[in-house]
Amino acid sequence: MTALVIGLVLFLGLHSTRMVADAARSRFIEQHGARAWRGLYSLGSAIGLVLVVWGFGQTRQSPQVLWSPPDWTRPLASALTLVGIVLIVAAYVPRNHFKAWVGHPMVLGIKVWAFAHLLATRTLADLLLFGGFLAWAVWCYASLRARDRVAGRQPSAGQPVPTLIAVVVGAVAWFVFGRWLHGWLIGVQPLG
């Protein structure tokens, strides 16, 4: 459990830098350069992610069960995860409607993904992992939208073809991961 908590603090902490220490981040970049910041940020994030994955895997060997979710939560979580993955994919597809509608589809997708997993899971490690990501995503999304308002940023209009690409690629990724990779990597097969 310790590795999971340390990994979450490191990974989510680094991804919260602009929200809690933007001035310190800017000073570091001024003094050492953007490449140094990106290098340290990437290294710290990678270490945090490895600790999260390893720590979460360790907790699965002796899980601390907190509750038993009802059966209906599993298909609901699967459908919500589809929405979350489509939103995450939309962050990488230029000029799609999701960017125009929500502004930051990556963070909103993480929020939906984490909430979906909280619905259908049952252990303390699940609560820490998905609850941590959900809390971070809620805070980050509010921060990003506030920053957009201050900057007067207006999203560009979305176009149908990029939107369709985001939906199709997201749906295929959701299906492949849920049908084969999730079971192989995590030990739970949501679409099997």
Tens digits of pLDDT across the chain (192 residues): 999 999 999 999 999 999 999 999 999 999 999 999 999 999 999 999 999 999 999 998 899 999 999 999 999 999 999 999 999 999 999 999 999 999 999 999 999 999 999 999 999 999 999 999 999 999 999 999 999 999 888 878 899 999 999 999 999 999 999 999 888 888 888 887
Residues written for the chain: 192
125, burial (CB in 10 Å: exposed 0-12, middle 13-18, buried 19+): buried
Between CA 135 and CA 141 the distance in angstroms is 10
If one counts every other C-beta atom within 10 angstroms of the C-beta of residue 140, the result is 22
Bridge partners of 65, per DSSP, are 123
Contact between 101 and 134 under an 8 Å Cβ cutoff? The reply is: no
Could you tell me the pTM of the whole model?
0.92
Map out the domains of the chain as residue ranges.
Answer: 1-62, 65-192
181: its two tokens: 């990779």
